[in-house]
Amino acid sequence: MKSITIPVQLDSLLLPFVEATDEAAARECLEELLALVTPSIKKIVSASDSPEDDYQESSQQIIKALWQCRADPQQRAIGDFQRYVTVVAAHVTKRRWRVERPAYRALKESLRHTLRNDARFALWEEPSREWLCGLAAQRNQPVSSSERLARLSQHPLAYDEAILPGCDAQSIPQADLLDAIFTWLGGLVGFDQLVKIVFALRRIEDQTLIVEDHDEDSRSWSDLLVDTQPPPDVEARWRQFLEKLWSEIEQLPPLQRIAYLLNFTAGDGALESFWLYGVVSVRRIGAILGLSDEQFARVWADPVMDEKARRQAARLTGYDEKFALLWHYLPLSDQTIARLIGTERQKVINLRKSAGDRVARRLVAFKCVL
């Protein structure tokens, strides 16, 4: 064995890699570690406009940090490997968002907030994983006429007068603009399509930011987590909102909590936002779900798990380890959650809707600028 002193803060997942007696064994351990976290990386970067590029960049940073950790575990120890991987992937993806289309990202978050918090509107995810939106009264109607929607999507500025006669799309309140768009379309629209339409109607222009490249070879793994944050006041308000949201989630009945959290897709980053902003740890998220061994076993038997993942799951004994593996497959489908809690898919949908409605009611008076 290598003659090394293992620091207390080193994640136990990394022990076989750090203690490997030769490079060949270390590389084999490295491949296993990357296979473990690849689903998590791909899930995070999937929201990017360049998911493959972001996946490659994230993987390269993680590999570099792991070799640094093996070479000097005292100074380069990684205390929570799963969290480190997720933060690196989020950092890479968020940086590209800010650099390439900062104004577009800001508008998308603003529209999502309006659709969720104005009673006139509805925003939800279909079983196909497509996000739809429209007037609340239109929720059970079909998607808007493909012809009218196609014309608007291709040439938004040609229809601003038809949508807003006598009004200026650049100055009208956002909620009123959405109301006018949905009314003119006469049906539902995909959320991503809506963002593009509003972006054009508002005449918003994105400015590409210049980001300097720095030599990362001399930096420790923790330096890689440094990110360009939003203005402190905005970040503080967002963290305050997340803290309030989490406190309401903790008060949900157990089944509502499971249905709500295991398919939590409210915004880019989803559950990662809670710990990314220091609100709650992944371990705490797992603990509050309180899943049983039998429930974990039901997930492992689900088609979402491949054979390699099932073999890995069979070796896990501790609750935290099991939830860390489950974390990579979130959000779970309604069908998987139904199997987990032993009920029907529609029951899961009803549970999550009840949870969302309860949380929304309690957050109505809570003011937060996104």
Query: For the residues of 40-64, what is the DSSP string, one character each?
Result: HHHHHHTTSSSHHHHHHHHHHHHHH
Q: What whole-number distance in Å separates Cα of residue 287 and Cα of residue 301?
A: 22
* Of 296, 295, 275, the residue nearest 285 (C-alpha): 275
Triad 279, 281, 287: Cα angle to 5°: 120
* Of 4, 118, 11, 127, the residue nearest 66 (C-alpha): 11
* Of 210, 211, 267, the residue nearest 241 (C-alpha): 267
Domain ranges of the chain: 1-100, 104-201, 230-364
Triad 23, 65, 12: Cα angle to 5°: 75
> Do residues 349 and 334 touch, judged by C-beta distance below 8 A?
yes
- What's 123's DSSP letter? E
Residue 192, pLDDT score: 86
pTM given for the model: 0.44
Q: How far is CA 298 from the centre of its chain?
A: 24
Residue 149 phi/psi, 5-degree rounding, is: -65, -40
Q: How many CB atoms lie within 10 A of CB 237?
A: 16
pLDDT in 10s for each residue of the chain, 370 residues: 445 555 557 888 888 998 888 888 999 999 999 998 898 888 888 767 678 878 888 888 899 889 988 888 877 878 788 878 888 887 777 665 544 555 676 677 788 888 888 889 988 887 766 788 999 888 877 665 667 888 888 888 888 788 888 777 777 888 889 999 999 988 888 898 898 899 888 887 654 433 333 333 333 333 333 333 444 455 566 778 788 889 999 999 999 999 999 988 654 445 767 766 678 888 889 999 999 999 999 999 887 677 877 888 888 888 888 888 888 777 788 889 999 999 999 999 999 888 888 888 777 655 433 3
Q: What whole-number distance in Å separates Cα of residue 5 and Cα of residue 77?
A: 11
Contacts of 370 (CB under 8 A, 6+ apart): 109, 110, 113, 238, 241
Terminus-to-terminus CA distance in the chain, angstroms?
Answer: 52
Question: How many CA atoms does the CB half-sphere of 210 hold within 13 Å?
Answer: 1
